[in-house]
Amino acid sequence: MAGKKIKDPLIAALLNFFLIGLGYLYVGKRVWFGIGLIVWNILFTAIVLLNPGLDSPLIWLDSIALSFLFAWDGWKTAEEVNKSKKR
């Protein structure tokens, strides 16, 4: 299995949790999707922080829920990549 690096699902999950999209870059799958998510996340956060009227607990609850969902998907994506590398 020389040259085939196994990706740690926990790292992919944590990266996607803290900055949605970064886990995909780590895994090397859905890279453009990951870049798009990172850009969107940065823009969304900037818009919310620069507009105090938009700062609602519901927005942050939504962001946390999405972080957990993308963390799970990052984990599963790393597992899929690892399975394909073992073949």
Q: Grade residue 1 by pLDDT with cuts at 50, 70 and 90.
A: very low
Cβ(24)–Cβ(85) below 8 Å: no
The structural domain count of the chain equals: 1
- The span from the CA of 73 to the CA of 75, in Å, is 5
87 against 77, higher pLDDT: 77
Give the domain extent around 40.
10-86
Residue 33, domain member (yes or no): yes
Q: Is 32 helix (H, G, I), strand (E, B) or coil?
A: helix
User: What are 6-65's pLDDT values in tens digits?
Assistant: 999 999 999 999 999 999 999 999 999 999 999 998 888 888 788 877 767 777 788 888
- If one counts every other C-beta atom within 10 angstroms of the C-beta of residue 18, the result is 11
- The span from the CA of 22 to the CA of 20, in Å, is 6
- The span from the CA of 83 to the CA of 4, in Å, is 11
Residue 5, domain member (yes or no): no
Residue 48, domain member (yes or no): yes
